[in-house]
Amino acid sequence: MDAILDTLSRTVDQLIARFDGPLHFRLVVMPTVVTILAIRAHLKDVRAGNPIYLGAFLTSPTERRRLLRSGLKDFGRIFIIACVLDTTYQIIVFRAFYPGQMLIVAVVCAVVPYFLVRGPVMRLAHLLHRRKKEG
């Protein structure tokens, strides 16, 4: 039990330490890049007349596969870059590799911003596109 608590304690300490260490810029740059890519993907979907991502993903089983592929394509490279950057950070700072920590950082830097932005931006873009068509 002590080993588990020690591991959890070390993991939390090391994740918090990433805010000050070398390559800390990636914690700002990666979510920003993902946000920009998500906005570009949304605008492309609006121009193509595609439905709102999350709504279509939840309600249309036939569209789900296409939407999942589209989402993976949109942020897959960024996710891989986030994994590579965190692995580099771990090797430089800890002289070790912790795959669980790498996945946590990559998800927080790439996946979470993508899906947080995708829904609201898509709704706004659909609303603006609809007004443009009407006006």
Q: What is the pLDDT of residue 61?
A: 84
Residue 40 pLDDT > 90 = no
Calpha distance 64→87 (Å, rounded): 32
pTM of the model: 0.67
Residue 96 pLDDT > 80 = yes
Calpha distance 118→135 (Å, rounded): 25
Q: What is the pLDDT of residue 53?
A: 67
Sign of CA dihedral 114, 119, 121, 122: positive
Tokens read off for 51: 């439905």
